[in-house]
Chains A and B, each alone.
Chain A
Amino acid sequence: MGTNGDVKIGVYVCHCGTNIAAKVNIKEVVEFAQTLPHVTIAREYKFMCSDPGQELIRQDIRELGINRVIVASCSPLMHEATFRRVLEEGGSNPFFFHMANIREHDSWVTSSSRQATRKAQALIAAAAKRVFFHEALQKNSVPVNSNVMIVGGGISGIQAALTIANAGKKVYLVEREPSIGGHMAKFDKTFPTLDCASCILTPKMTQVASHPNIELLTYSEVESVEGYVGNFKIQIRKKARFVDENLCTGCGECTEVCPIDIPSEFDEGLGMRKAIYRPFPQSVPNTYTISRRGLPPCQATCSLHQKAQAYIQLIAKGEFEKALQIILRDNPLPSICGRVCSHPCMSVCSRNKVDQAVNIPGLKRFVTDRLSDYELPKPERERKEKIAVVGSGPSGLMCAYELRQRGYKVTIFEAASQPGGMLTQGIPAFRLPRGIITDEIERLERTGIDIKLNTHVGIDISLKDLKKKHDAVYIAIGAGVERKLNIPGENLRGIWGGIDFLRRINLGMHITPGKRVLVIGGGNSAIDAARTALRSGAEEVTIVYRRSRNEMPADQLEVEEAEKEGIRFYFMASPLRFLGNGRVTGMEFIRTRLGHPDESGRRRPVPIPNSEFTLPCDGVIVTIGQKPDVESLRDRLGLALTKFNTFVTDPLTLETNIPGVFAGGDCVTGPDVVVNAMFAGKKAAISIDRYLNRQDMREGRELEGPFEPTFEIDTEGVPVKWRIEMPSIEIERRRTFEEVHTGYTPEMAMEEAARCLACAGCCDCQLCSTVCEAKAIDYNQKDTTLEVDVGSIIIATGFKTFDPKRIPSYGYQILPNVFTSLEIERLINSAGPTGGEIILKNGEKPKSVGIIHCVGSRDIHHNRYCSRVCCMYSLKFAHLIRERTHAEVYNFYIDMRAFGKGYEEFYDRILEEGAHLVRGRVAEVTDVALDSSEEGKLIIRVEDTLIGMVRRIPVDMVILSVGLEARPDAEEVRRLFNISCSVEGFFLERHPKLAPVSTFTDGVFLAGACQGPKDIPDSVAQAGAAAAEALALIDKGVVELEPNTAWIEEEECSGCQTCVALCPFTAISYDAEKHVSVVNEVLCKGCGTCVSACPSGAAKQHLFLDEEILAEIEGVLTI
């Protein structure tokens, strides 16, 4: 190693007082060191890090020409920087230095003195071998960005932000919640001075908001952190608050109309807030936020996206008129839908997880029944374009309404003598009274829609003519042609098609299907036909279905009603032939079993051989489905058809192959439910409107229609409450066409509506936007990501309180009147849910209160540490409760920790005031009384360790002084910022004494309780310290980087590029011209992964050369 010249090593063994010297035989170690090769001098000293110790080294460099230095003392993480500086001062390159860690790794962890001495010798031998290879290195320095990011807007974050901003530096203050303030904002008074928390906090919060150097990012979270000290790149996600921060004036009008009540997080669930809210009146920023999980499941699944949660919440509050207005926004046929909708909304209702879905259609029906004289809005302007709608079923009606609302002149052509299509012809009156249909259609007509009855397009007017006379045509002729069984005997008398049968009866004919009637099929039509048959003179009606009950497509509620009415079901039987001579007298069936699922996902019925049987009857109604009657249009203008005889349309626009002609509903989809037919009508209307305005019909329409719910809620703890059944007429009366269900009373409706869990938070009723004069509400707001460059980061993410449910014997949430300390803070606070009244759950003032200290702290089952604040806040409660309620107060403590300034005096004061202090850990809180004095009380059972006996103390109220814990997501935050957590989960400081606000990641500092439990004065002091660290970094302007980067020797590199793929920082690139890999020194962070992977040994790392490490290995093994 000629380049290293004549190596002269100086070894300096530190006593560290007695820390090392008491265990390691220093003299022996020094003697050993002297024998090592190249060692010129070996010395010992009491404290090498002290000035005289340092001077020893400088002097030897100067006088003895020492050019390698080994200090055997503490960890290099502690003093490496110190001694490198000493070398520099002595005139040597600072990197000709190595530290042997004989304190943390030796004297402190070894029991035997002999062994510790030997270990120290080995470590020094290793160091001596290593330093031989050390090279002179230069530190690189990079400029420091003067911006600082502070994460967490509690008192620590606020204090640090203000300190740095006042020094003229830019601060980004990121807070997850809608307001800054943290825990301190919840407190009423602060110990020991008893000054009001908000009085001292809110001015600071306001300062933050108005400070020109602070950019406040509330309701925001840090997404990613890249870079290194001085040069961090941060991605911050600003969550959508659906209220424009720049426009909102904080007037609060919106909360007056919001129907949603949510337990207030700020009031610890003791009070309620609205879905649009600010956490507390002094919130900073003074901006409202909407709690919105997404579209409520009921609304998402509805093809029309009716705002079910919204109108249900309004019904629950008795606001029926508002509910109706919400309903009418999306549905012009609500009274019909309230009765016959297939309610997909109910199948996704969050309430299903608890008990049963809310009766959503029933509630809609209630509103339309109660306020039945409503009107639909009239169009705001008139347009000259004319539109023809063929068919007056739900699809045609919806399309006509949507177009009429946009001002078009709409004419509906209906072949039948009555409007309504399948609503009128297919659905029996006992489910949907004729008067309801008439009312709804007349309402539509009053908006200016013209309905031409008895006008069969294709016979009375040709489709060609229609197209010529109108600007657009919507075809919604439904699916009215009966499917046939195609089995022998189908032409016998007494056999009816289901639709034919229902249509005749619904249009007013009096026919009797027979006395013993069989109904073939399992859909809603089968149930309707069976129930209609029962009301038309049949005595015995049996539904025969070829699969089992589970596969029946009919609405289960309707099936139950049919059963109640006496209709019989015969499952797993498939028809073979009709029997009879002229008139049907019976039917032959074959039994089936369920095979593999078919395309519809239902299991296919498979006939069981030789299982034929017959059922006698004198009438049969066949309801096995319908198909569209496209033939009836005669001249079809060349409209394309599918193989199922339905119209071909563009699924996005419903336009047919002929421009200007649209089709939808059953004639496109085949038989389907009312709400989907209406959806098609609405969709077609949007297309027609765009068509007539020459706009792109397709743009942005992919998301129309139903979609899966986007969230799920946790329903744990929601009490079971079964659905309120809608009253119906007695079974005996169900032989006429009187409506079966009579509808909810207002009380029942409100009770049923109150079952709604308001699972989405905001229900999308949009009432708030109607009262917001600043027009600040924006329901379409999206999360945004913002990137900022900062030089340093202060983490001040705070703590969470211990959850006392983990100690069941204290009865929290089991016994009423057991509160946590944070709940009491809110109860005492005059801005809290009770206006500052300390009251029991029954509203009375407590006469005696027990305060249990150390809940979850100093407890081997939970947290072993002391939470440091509980003793003092418990004493504060003792004072405040006595002052406000004159109750007797008992404090149960283990030890009184009154260590801060003025704390002991505060303790004395509380004692003098007459609070009872009982020393002992409480065993349990119970409501089991042993005598009359304990009746109706909470009894605290405790061993009083000062008098040495177990006591039972009855009180009215128990306060659990819960400890402080790390936040549940500390682990994720730790990874985000590349810092460490201590065993308790709090963030780990670089050194518990000497670097309490630094972390192991340079440029990342800690403030407040995220580092460990702390009271307000300590948090503020630490915030100041963290700010000072950040400012020191900025003031210096540059950071020196450890020169431990990797490099590649060109001559040795084979160009294999193994290293290129390994580098996590993409610092290595391949120079194709020279056929070698090259390390970008600026990007290299010095991990050395490439070095150990290089097959040719061309990659090397400064400070960790192969020679150096191998020498060290050899060295530790020498003794």
Chain B
Amino acid sequence: MYEPKIVAIFCNWCTYTAADLAGTARMEYAPNARIIRVMCSGRIDPQFVLNAFQKGADGVLLGGCHPGDCHYQEGNYKALRRYHLLQRLLEQMGIEKERLRIEWISASEGDKVKKVIDEMTEEIRRLGPLEIAETPAEQKPAVAAS
């Protein structure tokens, strides 16, 4: 079976802690997401997401505190803005929007971590591996040669 690779970038206070809680509660879920910790979802640079796709990720999951609950007041809102920006960018790049997902998961929602990761794994399994087209710059000479 095709096993997609998902890079998950979670904030320290809510979503990363929720993932710890899912572990403590022994909730089994898909092994496809690899979690990277940042202090706040506001730290998530759009470059991280693009880089992940470039390096072979089939999906990227961003996790932050619920709106209004951010440990740093409003970093999650900044993350949400960047997410919307990225969605438009990814569309232009031909990357399905389902491959980037943002979720608000509080420290007590271990079950939500399981649910989201399971769902996303299934979704990406359905989409198949991400195939990024060769860059136009590299394509051009090929066309010229033919």
Residues of A near any B CB (own CB < 8 A): 75-78, 101, 103-106, 108-112, 115-116, 118-119, 122-123, 126, 975, 978, 980-983, 988, 992, 1000-1001, 1044, 1062, 1064-1065, 1085-1089, 1091-1093, 1101, 1104, 1106, 1109-1110, 1112-1114, 1116-1117
Contact of A988 among B9, B35, B108 (CB under 8 A): B108
In the complex, chain B residues whose CB is within 8 Å of the CB of A1101: 39, 43
In the complex, chain A residues whose CB is within 8 Å of the CB of B43: 1087-1089, 1091-1092, 1101, 1104
A124: shortest Cβ distance to chain B, in Å?
A: 11
A361 and B117 alpha carbons, distance in the complex (Å): 69
Contact B106 A980 (CB under 8 A): yes
Contact A112 B31 (CB under 8 A): yes
Contact B36 A126 (CB under 8 A): yes
A965: shortest Cβ distance to chain B, in Å?
A: 16
Given contacts A111-B28, A116-B31, A981-B108, contact A1117 B55 (CB under 8 A): yes
Contacting chain A: which of B66-74, B95-103, B137-145? Answer: B66-74
Contact A101 B35 (CB under 8 A): yes
In the complex, chain B residues whose CB is within 8 Å of the CB of A77: 12, 16-17, 20
Contact A1000 B107 (CB under 8 A): yes
B34 CB-CB contact with A under 8 Å: yes
In the complex, chain B residues whose CB is within 8 Å of the CB of A119: 31, 34
Contact B42 A1088 (CB under 8 A): yes
Given contacts A123-B34, A1104-B39, A1117-B56, contact A108 B47 (CB under 8 A): no
B84 CB-CB contact with A under 8 Å: no
B36: shortest Cβ distance to chain A, in Å?
A: 5
In the complex, the chain B residue whose C-beta lies closest to that of A112 is: B31
In the complex, chain B residues whose CB is within 8 Å of the CB of A1044: 39
Contact B45 A1092 (CB under 8 A): yes
In the complex, the chain B residue whose C-beta lies closest to that of A990 is: B17
In the complex, chain B residues whose CB is within 8 Å of the CB of A106: 23, 31
Within 8 A of A (CB), among B19-39: 19-20, 22-24, 26-29, 31, 34-39
The 5 closest A-B pairs by CB, nearest first: A104-B23, A1088-B43, A1089-B42, A1087-B72, A1116-B34
Contact A978 B39 (CB under 8 A): no
A122 and B37 alpha carbons, distance in the complex (Å): 15
In the complex, chain A residues whose CB is within 8 Å of the CB of B28: 109-111
Given contacts A1110-B51, A1114-B55, contact A1092 B23 (CB under 8 A): no
B80 CB-CB contact with A under 8 Å: no
Contact A1116 B40 (CB under 8 A): no
Encoded as 1 (CB less than 8 Å from any A CB) or 0, chain B from 74 to 104 comes to 1100100010000000000000000000000
Contact A1116 B78 (CB under 8 A): no
B114 CB-CB contact with A under 8 Å: yes
Contact B82 A1092 (CB under 8 A): yes
In the complex, chain A residues whose CB is within 8 Å of the CB of B26: 108-109
In the complex, the chain B residue whose C-beta lies closest to that of A122 is: B34
Contact of A75 among B23, B27, B38, B39 (CB under 8 A): B23
A28 and B57 alpha carbons, distance in the complex (Å): 24
Contact B20 A109 (CB under 8 A): no
A329: shortest Cβ distance to chain B, in Å?
A: 49
B7 CB-CB contact with A under 8 Å: yes
In the complex, chain B residues whose CB is within 8 Å of the CB of A1091: 43, 45
In the complex, the chain B residue whose C-beta lies closest to that of A1001 is: B71
A1092 and B51 alpha carbons, distance in the complex (Å): 14
In the complex, chain B residues whose CB is within 8 Å of the CB of A1116: 5, 7, 34, 36
A-B contact pairs, 8 of them (CB 8 A): A75-B20, A126-B34, A980-B108, A1089-B75, A1089-B78, A1092-B46, A1101-B43, A1109-B9
Contact of B68 among A108, A975, A982, A1113 (CB under 8 A): A975
In the complex, chain B residues whose CB is within 8 Å of the CB of A1117: 5, 7, 34, 52, 55-57
In the complex, chain B residues whose CB is within 8 Å of the CB of A981: 106, 108
Contact A1106 B47 (CB under 8 A): yes
A1088 and B44 alpha carbons, distance in the complex (Å): 8
Residues of B near any A CB (own CB < 8 A): 3, 5, 7, 9, 12-14, 16-17, 19-20, 22-24, 26-29, 31, 34-40, 42-48, 51-52, 55-57, 68-69, 71-75, 78, 82, 106-109, 114
In the complex, chain B residues whose CB is within 8 Å of the CB of A1106: 45, 47
A389 and B85 alpha carbons, distance in the complex (Å): 76
A77 and B11 alpha carbons, distance in the complex (Å): 12
In the complex, the chain B residue whose C-beta lies closest to that of A123 is: B34
A1101 and B48 alpha carbons, distance in the complex (Å): 15
Contact A1113 B52 (CB under 8 A): yes
Contact of A1113 among B7, B29, B37 (CB under 8 A): B7
A9 and B104 alpha carbons, distance in the complex (Å): 35
In the complex, chain B residues whose CB is within 8 Å of the CB of A1085: 72
In the complex, chain B residues whose CB is within 8 Å of the CB of A1114: 51, 55
Question: Interface centre among A1064, A1085, A1086, by most B CB within 10 Å?
Answer: A1064
A980 and B22 alpha carbons, distance in the complex (Å): 16
Contact B19 A105 (CB under 8 A): yes
In the complex, chain B residues whose CB is within 8 Å of the CB of A104: 19-20, 22-24
16 further contact pairs, Cβ within 8 A, besides A126-B34, A975-B68 = A77-B20, A101-B35, A105-B23, A108-B26, A109-B23, A110-B31, A112-B31, A980-B17, A983-B108, A1087-B40, A1087-B42, A1089-B42, A1089-B78, A1110-B47, A1113-B7, A1116-B36
In the complex, chain A residues whose CB is within 8 Å of the CB of B37: 76
B46: shortest Cβ distance to chain A, in Å?
A: 8
Contact B48 A1110 (CB under 8 A): yes
In the complex, chain A residues whose CB is within 8 Å of the CB of B45: 1091-1092, 1106, 1109
B43: shortest Cβ distance to chain A, in Å?
A: 3
Contact A108 B48 (CB under 8 A): no
Contact A1088 B40 (CB under 8 A): yes
A952: shortest Cβ distance to chain B, in Å?
A: 41
In the complex, chain A residues whose CB is within 8 Å of the CB of B57: 1113, 1117
Contact A1088 B35 (CB under 8 A): no
In the complex, chain A residues whose CB is within 8 Å of the CB of B78: 1062, 1089, 1092-1093
A103: shortest Cβ distance to chain B, in Å?
A: 7
Question: Interface centre among B13, B14, B20, B108, by most A CB within 10 Å?
Answer: B20
A993: shortest Cβ distance to chain B, in Å?
A: 10
B37: shortest Cβ distance to chain A, in Å?
A: 7
In the complex, chain B residues whose CB is within 8 Å of the CB of A115: 3, 31
Contact B107 A980 (CB under 8 A): yes
In the complex, the chain A residue whose C-beta lies closest to that of B58 is: A1117
Contact B39 A1088 (CB under 8 A): yes
Contact of A109 among B36, B46, B114 (CB under 8 A): B114
In the complex, chain A residues whose CB is within 8 Å of the CB of B114: 109
Question: Interface centre among B22, B39, B69, B75, by most A CB within 10 Å?
Answer: B39
In the complex, chain A residues whose CB is within 8 Å of the CB of B73: 1064-1065
In the complex, chain B residues whose CB is within 8 Å of the CB of A975: 68-69
Given contacts A76-B37, A112-B31, A123-B34, contact A1109 B52 (CB under 8 A): no
A1101 and B13 alpha carbons, distance in the complex (Å): 17
A913: shortest Cβ distance to chain B, in Å?
A: 41
A1104 and B45 alpha carbons, distance in the complex (Å): 11
A115 and B35 alpha carbons, distance in the complex (Å): 15
Contact A1000 B82 (CB under 8 A): no
Contact of A1000 among B17, B42, B48, B56 (CB under 8 A): B17
Contact A982 B31 (CB under 8 A): no
In the complex, chain A residues whose CB is within 8 Å of the CB of B82: 1092
In the complex, chain A residues whose CB is within 8 Å of the CB of B109: 983
In the complex, chain B residues whose CB is within 8 Å of the CB of A1001: 71
A1089 and B39 alpha carbons, distance in the complex (Å): 10
Contact of B39 among A112, A983, A988, A1086 (CB under 8 A): A1086
Contact B31 A1109 (CB under 8 A): no
Contact A105 B52 (CB under 8 A): no
In the complex, the chain B residue whose C-beta lies closest to that of A993 is: B24
Contact A1087 B47 (CB under 8 A): no
A684: shortest Cβ distance to chain B, in Å?
A: 53
B84: shortest Cβ distance to chain A, in Å?
A: 15
A1088 and B7 alpha carbons, distance in the complex (Å): 19
Contact A1113 B24 (CB under 8 A): no
In the complex, chain B residues whose CB is within 8 Å of the CB of A1062: 78
